[in-house]
Chain A
Amino acid sequence: MKRTFRRQRHLYIFAGLVGAVAIINILFFLILYRPARSEYVRLQESISRLRAERLMRQRQVEQKERIAAQLETSGKDRFALVTKHFIPKNVGYAQIVPELDGLVARTGVRKTTVNFSTDETPRYGLSLVKSNYPVQGNYPNVVNFIKQLESSETFYIITQVDVRTGGDNSFQPNAGNIVLALNLETYIYQ
């Protein structure tokens, strides 16, 4: 049988102690250190995520509140917009035709055959009036006519501009006579 000497026994005890400390270290790491660190990291990530969510939701709430506020005043705003910029049904073409003729006369352009059409089914109480408005003149006058349409208090919306043949067919300030066909839209309210 192998004999164990005193110094060898001491060495074994010492090695056992070192081993026990190592095991305690591993257990400490697994049971205490790692969960504490994970919880801290998780809380930090959670705070960052929640802050981002809060910011996004705050913006969404503000946007919805703005819309809700708009809804409350929408009736009044609609009335102001419609009565100021659109044409009452009882007036209708009696306003459209002379107003456009006035612009033609003021800007020195000439108009040829104008076609009008009215959309019979109104949307939100507004009937769409479309017209094809051919105007002829020198370049500055034609541009001035368009400028007058843009600044007119009644909404005349240009949806398309066609440069017709018969003029110089050029779109330059030095062009002589140009012929444009403007597609216009305006609205009549009930």
Chain B
Amino acid sequence: MGKFDLNLSTQPFPAYQVKTLLLTLGLIVLGALSAWQAYGFIQYSKLAGQIRGEAQGAQVEAEALARRLADMELKLSRPEAMQKLNEIAFLNDIIARKSFSWTRIFANLEKLMPDDVHLVSLRPNFLDTGEVRLDIDVRGRSMADIKQLIEALQSHSAFGLVQVDTETKKDAGPNMASGDLAVTLRVPYHQERESQ
């Protein structure tokens, strides 16, 4: 006997099809998410296992080096070692000052000094940082001449940024006209760049 798809109830069934479809879709998404999470968990666990040994090795090595460094520091901080180190620094400072090439500086100044600017004094200062700063006293007819010297120094690879320390207008004197400018310049000097 054939079946009839006939709803004879007084209260008709609500439509379940859309809800079932949405729940099925949700289940599929959750299934995919579970698979992705499981895969990720296995992968991360495997990778962590692979590098755990490496991390422990690096930790052990870093600690061993730290102990070695502490031992060396202890050895070098003893009074007799400190005294020797200070003496070495003192002798190294003498060697650094001896290695300073005045003839090279003069060769540079010959080229860079404008005609109307005269050198009065030159002092190198050996700073604790290992840098050399030149204190240059010059005299010039006008600020334009001094400016020319500053620009020339700054354009040279061996000299750094020039700083004007003092500027004084002088009275007339030997080899000097009234109104000459006396200027003290401070300029970092990089001797090592000369040989490059």
Contacts and interface: CB of A to CB of B under 8 A. Distances in A.
B88 A70 contact: yes
DSSP majority for the A interface? helix
B52 A43 contact: yes
Contacts of A43: 48, 51-52, 55
A11 B34 CA distance: 22
Contact of A123 (B27, B34, B90, B120): B90
B159 to A, nearest CB: 16
Interface stretch (A59-67, A92-100, A105-113, A130-138): A59-67
Contact of B118 (A11, A37, A169): A169
Interface of A: 5, 7-8, 11, 14-15, 17-18, 21-22, 24-25, 28-29, 32-33, 36-37, 39-40, 43-44, 46-47, 50-51, 53-54, 57-58, 60-61, 64-65, 67-68, 70-71, 74, 78, 81, 85, 123-124, 143, 146-147, 150, 155, 157-163, 165-166, 168-173, 185, 187
Interface of B: 13-14, 16, 19-20, 23, 26-27, 30-31, 33-34, 37-38, 40-41, 44-45, 47-48, 51-52, 54-55, 58-59, 61-62, 65-66, 68-69, 72-73, 75-76, 81, 84-85, 87-88, 90-91, 94-95, 97-98, 100-103, 106, 109-110, 113, 115, 118-124, 173-176
